[in-house]
């Protein structure tokens, strides 16, 4: 026995392998995504640090544009909204976005995607995307998609970096970070300025823009068991078409000042975690419309004529989350209690004509949430997850409280080659403040939405090939829709959807891989009109030749409403001059044939038919050149 | 038999850890630099991976008795280490001209870097498999 053990120890300590393979093996094993990803938490897509570097991911948009089932989209105000259903101002409330352990939250919209969906990624190490009602461990409120961003760390990015990029239309970006590890703590400091300039579009004699200037500061300080993060953002730019359907603006402006502070702590051998975060945002919006533009044109949103408006929306939130985990023999039980305070004020709204101010039904919402999750390890191949979560939404004023419950059952089978994941869930989502408090399109009577779904995923790995099949079916009750008076209502009819995806990744060598993806999305129309059916195909190649990293991606989108099929071809080349200096070139949508998005401009008041639309590319053609210098 | 399997799994588990892999790389580098199967290494001030899984390395607490000093910091280096071969664990350690090379993380990837002149100064000739990690 002792001899055998010695042999095994010798084998494990033998350093006969070459330095190259040891180094690559170590790099792969140490990927931070391996430490953070949770396969049992849902249907997971991971973009590793290596993926982000070689794909030259400049902003989160670069990932979302070819994400399974989705294509990046914005709303009428040029805000990220990947599930946009124009003319509703925001539809991605179920898409929750996290930076490390804290949610990037917009209390009024429900999800922070509206503010951070196009965030630059220069301080991000890796990204996890959980599609389809993931684990309740993540957040206070339920989610349809969870995007988890993990910032760079001193352990893997010691020292500093400056980066500068210039591109089409004068787009430019500069950022710097520095990170270091001391005896008992480590820190990371980052600052960025982006001037994202885009094409302008003429419509009804006016010029529509989507430019955005962003300044961001992020800093983190970590010890073994505690961390604190500060995140500040100032963004200002154009508001594109604005939410006043039927009117093309002459001039628009929007600005957001955001600050977030969060802490995370671990106790009792990491089994008890306490996370707290505070956010505060002030959003200014203003637009002017040409004189006389409203004459003879139906004004569909506001029941009066006006030529300019300005609004300041204030948002504030505090979130505390306490979670305890018990690792027992054959199961892991996690219990969590969470609290969220949201404050939002939309009453600072001024038109150029005298419009009496309308009171906001409620300005404060308190969310109390509890969850229980049980992972039962039947044997080394079989795992069952059982989860239940409940929230009580307590709203000030005369607005009814809402109580929502989510249930989730999962079965995961794993062996050397196969992974099978089955998730059954029933989830209620409360209506978000933006859907209820607006005096113009909001509805205080909205009922919670309810999703019932079954999701099946198969992964098969053999040699250097990974195959994935994903199937989902769901029904949707009380889906929010716009009625004839442009007020948000719950759909009278339940709608169903089904989704399917097939993906193949071939690793030709350690640094050369080909990814093929095909997916299909079907959603019945809540308006009892034609269903939405679209298909997405992605061919992505990542290659490394000597000091060059080469990236090619073709994303094909077909079947989208009111627009032609899209063929978005992107290419990137990165050259390592030496360890300290890297040069890069990237072209997005280089044939200018990517998917477009159609926004309603005019509707026939008698037939309800759309008579005029504004159609713009979702991802514009642009070319970027840049350099990175490490110090 | 169960004990045997348990012992085997334990070793596999240990082998799979990051620290073990990092220690494996340190072992290979330090043995190559010193040309010794069991080099005596002084660690200033702490490098968890190698302290936890020393492998073939013989950790010494007196720099005078060391073949090489492995650094987690270049600050407050004991004077007796000044004449020793120094090897770093961060990119910034290479700013010290007495450090011949370093094994460090940069841009999310582990890297090894030696400077040719510094190796030459100590009459160190590395195996050709290290050539790609040597810069002028």
pLDDT (tens digit per residue) in A563-578? 899 999 999 999 999 8
For A242-275, b where at least 16 C-beta lie within 10 A, e where not — what string? bbbbbbbbbebebbbebebbbbbebeeeeeebeb
Q: How far apart are CA A386 and CA A378, in angstroms?
A: 13
Mean of per-residue pLDDT scores for chain A: 90
Confidence bin at A296 (pLDDT 50/70/90): very low
Inform me whether the pLDDT recorded for A36 exceeds 80.
no
Give the predicted TM-score (pTM) of the model.
0.89
Confidence bin at A304 (pLDDT 50/70/90): low
In chain B, domain spans: 2-135
Inform me whether the pLDDT recorded for A15 exceeds 70.
no
Residue A158: closest CA among B113, B115, B41, B54: B113
Q: Say what the pLDDT of residue B107 is.
A: 84
Interface of B with A (CB under 8 A): 3-4, 7-8, 11-12, 14-16, 18, 20-22, 24-25, 27-29, 31, 45, 55-56, 90-92, 104-113, 129-130, 132-133, 135
Q: How many residues in total does chain B contain?
A: 136
B55/A30 Cβ within 8 A: no
Mean pLDDT for the stretch of residues A320-338: 94
Pick the CATH number of B2-135 from 1.10.3470, 1.10.287, 3.40.50, 3.10.450: 3.40.50
pLDDT tens digits along A346-378? 888 888 887 777 788 889 999 999 999 999 999
* Cβ-Cβ contacts under 8 Å for A580 (sequence gap 6 or more): A629, A630, A631
Q: Say what the pLDDT of residue A37 is.
A: 72
B12/A12 Cβ within 8 A: yes
A4/B4 Cβ within 8 A: yes
Inform me whether the pLDDT recorded for A272 exceeds 50.
yes
Q: How far apart are CA A309 and CA A159, in angstroms?
A: 47
Cβ atoms within 10 A of the Cβ of A183, count?
9
| Residue contacts between A and B (CB atoms, under 8 Å) | 94
DSSP 8-state code for residue A59: B
Mean pLDDT for the stretch of residues A178-190: 92
Mean pLDDT for the stretch of residues A548-561: 94
Mean pLDDT for the stretch of residues A270-288: 96
Inform me whether the pLDDT recorded for A299 exceeds 70.
no
Q: How far apart are CA A184 and CA A199, in angstroms?
A: 49
Residue A117: closest CA among A57, A62, A194, A60: A60
Quote the strand ranges of A331-401, DSSP E.
331-351, 364-377, 382-395
Mean of per-residue pLDDT scores for chain B: 85
Interchain CB contact of A20 with B (< 8 Å)? yes
DSSP 8-state code for residue A447: P
Inform me whether the pLDDT recorded for B129 exceeds 80.
yes
Chain Cα centroid distance, residue A489: 25
Residue A15: closest CA among B19, B13, B28: B28
Confidence bin at A314 (pLDDT 50/70/90): very high
More confident residue, A443 or B119: B119
pLDDT tens digits along A200-246? 999 999 999 999 999 999 999 999 999 999 999 999 999 999 988 88
More confident residue, A605 or A96: A96
Give alpha helix (H) positions in A508-616.
none
Cβ contact A350:A325 at 8 Å: no
Rounded to the nearest 10 degrees, the angle between the axes of helix A19-30 and helix B18-34 is 160
Over pLDDT 70: what percentage of chain A?
A: 95
Confidence bin at A1 (pLDDT 50/70/90): very low
Q: Which residues in chain B are contacts of A162 at CB distance < 8 A?
A: none
Residue A602: closest CA among A293, A171, A270, A259: A293
Query: Is ipTM over 0.85?
Result: no
Residue in the structure block whose two tokens are 């630099």: B33
Q: Which of A2-11, A413-422, A504-513 has the lowest mean pLDDT?
A: A2-11
Q: Say what the pLDDT of residue A38 is.
A: 76
Q: Which residues in chain A are contacts of B25 at CB distance < 8 A?
A: 19, 22-23, 26
pLDDT tens digits along A236-268? 999 999 988 888 999 999 999 999 999 999 999
Confidence bin at A32 (pLDDT 50/70/90): confident
Rounded to the nearest 10 degrees, the angle between the axes of helix B18-34 and helix A2-13 is 70
Q: How far apart are CA A324 and CA A272, in angstroms?
A: 4
Residue in the structure block whose two tokens are 């040029």: A78
Residue in the structure block whose two tokens are 């073709």: A554
Inform me whether the pLDDT recorded for B1 exceeds 50.
no
Q: Closest Cα of chain A to B81: distance in Å?
A: 21
More confident residue, A59 or A184: A59
Residue in the structure block whose two tokens are 């190559």: B32
Q: Say what the pLDDT of residue A528 is.
A: 63
Confidence bin at B11 (pLDDT 50/70/90): very low
Q: Say what the pLDDT of residue A463 is.
A: 87
Inform me whether the pLDDT recorded for A527 exceeds 80.
no
Inform me whether the pLDDT recorded for A288 exceeds 60.
yes
Mean pLDDT for the stretch of residues B23-44: 94
Interchain CB contact of A583 with B (< 8 Å)? no
Q: Say what the pLDDT of residue A29 is.
A: 80
pLDDT tens digits along A114-151? 999 999 999 999 999 999 888 888 888 999 999 999 99
Q: Closest Cα of chain B to A157: distance in Å?
A: 5
Query: Can you spell out the DSSP letters for A73-140?
Result: -B-TTS-B-TT--TTSS---TTEEEEETTEE---TTTSSTHHHHTT-B-TTEEEEEEEESS--TTS-S
B91/A12 Cβ within 8 A: no
């Amino acid at each position: 026995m002792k001899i055998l053990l010695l042999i095994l120890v010798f084998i494990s300590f033998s350093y006969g392998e070459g330095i190259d393979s040891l180094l690559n093996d170590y790099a792969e094993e140490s990927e931070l995504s391996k430490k953070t990803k949770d396969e049992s938490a849902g249907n997971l897509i991971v973009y590793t640090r290596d993926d982000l570097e070689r794909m030259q991911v400049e902003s989160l948009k670069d990932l979302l544009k070819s994400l399974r089932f989705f294509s990046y989209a914005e709303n009428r105000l040029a805000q990220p909204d990947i599930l946009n259903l124009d003319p509703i101002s925001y539809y991605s409330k179920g898409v929750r976005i996290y930076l490390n352990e804290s949610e990037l939250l917009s209390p009024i919209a429900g999800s922070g995607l509206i503010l951070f969906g196009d965030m630059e990624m220069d301080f991000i190490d890796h990204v996890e995307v959980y599609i389809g009602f993931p684990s309740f461990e993540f957040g206070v409120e339920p989610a349809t998609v969870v995007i988890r961003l993990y910032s760079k760390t001193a352990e893997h990015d010691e020292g500093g970096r400056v980066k500068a990029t210039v591109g089409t239309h004068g787009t430019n970006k500069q950022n710097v970070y520095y990170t270091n590890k001391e005896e008992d703590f480590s820190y990371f400091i980052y600052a960025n300025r982006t001037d994202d300039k885009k094409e302008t579009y003429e419509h009804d004699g006016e010029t529509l823009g989507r430019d955005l200037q962003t300044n961001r500061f992020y800093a983190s300080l970590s010890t073994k068991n505690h961390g604190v993060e500060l995140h500040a953002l100032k963004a200002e730019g154009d508001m594109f078409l604005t939410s006043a359907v039927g009117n093309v603006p002459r001039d628009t402006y929007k600005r957001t000042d955001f600050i977030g502070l969060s802490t995370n702590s671990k106790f009792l051998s990491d089994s008890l975690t306490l996370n707290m975060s505070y956010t505060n945002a002030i959003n200014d919006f203003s637009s002017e419309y040409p004189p006389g533009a409203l004459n003879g044109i139906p004004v569909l949103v506001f029941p009066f004529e006006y030529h300019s408006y300005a609004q300041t929306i204030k948002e504030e939130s505090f979130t505390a989350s306490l979670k305890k985990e018990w690792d027992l023999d054959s199961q892991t039980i996690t219990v969590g209690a969470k609290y969220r305070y949201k404050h939002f004020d939309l009453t600072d709204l001024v038109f150029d004509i005298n419009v009496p101010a309308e009171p906001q039904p409620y300005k404060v919402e308190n969310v109390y949430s509890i969850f229980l999750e049980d992972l039962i390890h039947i044997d080394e191949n079989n795992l069952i997850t059982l989860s239940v979560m409940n929230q009580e939404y307590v709203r000030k004023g005369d607005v009814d409280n809402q109580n929502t419950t989510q249930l989730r059952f999962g079965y995961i089978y794993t062996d050397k080659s196969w992974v099978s994941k089955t998730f059954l869930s029933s989830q209620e989502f409360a209506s978000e403040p933006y859907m209820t408090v607006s005096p113009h399109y909001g509805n205080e009577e909205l009922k919670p939405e309810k999703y019932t779904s079954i999701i099946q995923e198969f992964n098969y790995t053999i040699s250097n090939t990974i195959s994935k099949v994903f199937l989902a079916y769901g029904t949707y009750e009380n889906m929010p829709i716009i009625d004839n008076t442009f007020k948000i209502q719950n759909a009278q009819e339940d709608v169903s959807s089904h989704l399917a995806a097939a993906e193949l990744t071939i690793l030709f060598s350690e640094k050369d891989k080909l990814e093929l993806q095909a997916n299909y999305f079907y959603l019945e129309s809540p308006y009892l009109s034609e269903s939405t059916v679209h298909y997405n195909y992605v061919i992505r190649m990542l290659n490394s030749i000597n000091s060059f990293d080469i990236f090619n991606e073709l994303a094909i989108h077909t079947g989208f409403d009111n627009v032609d099929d899209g063929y978005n071809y992107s290419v990137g080349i990165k050259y390592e001059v030496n360890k300290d200096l890297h040069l890069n070139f990237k072209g997005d949508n280089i044939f200018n044939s990517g998917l477009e998005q159609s926004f309603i401009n005019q509707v026939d008041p008698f037939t309800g038919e759309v008579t005029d639309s504004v159609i713009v590319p979702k991802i514009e053609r642009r070319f970027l050149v840049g350099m990175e210098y490490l110090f | 038999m169960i004990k045997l399997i348990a012992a085997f799994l334990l070793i596999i588990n240990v082998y799979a850890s990051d620290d073990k892999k990092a220690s494996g790389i340190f072992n290979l580098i330090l043995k190559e630099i010193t040309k010794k199967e069991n080099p005596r290494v002084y660690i200033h001030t702490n490098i968890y991976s190698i302290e936890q899984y020393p492998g073939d390395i013989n950790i010494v607490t007196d720099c005078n008795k060391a073949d090489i000093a492995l650094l987690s910091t270049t600050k407050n280096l004991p004077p007796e280490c000044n004449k020793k071969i120094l090897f770093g664990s961060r990119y910034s350690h290479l700013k010290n001209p007495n450090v011949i090379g370093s094994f460090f993380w940069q841009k999310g990837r582990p890297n090894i870097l030696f400077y040719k002149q510094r190796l030459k100064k100590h009459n160190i000739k590395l195996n050709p498999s290290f050539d790609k990690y040597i810069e002028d």
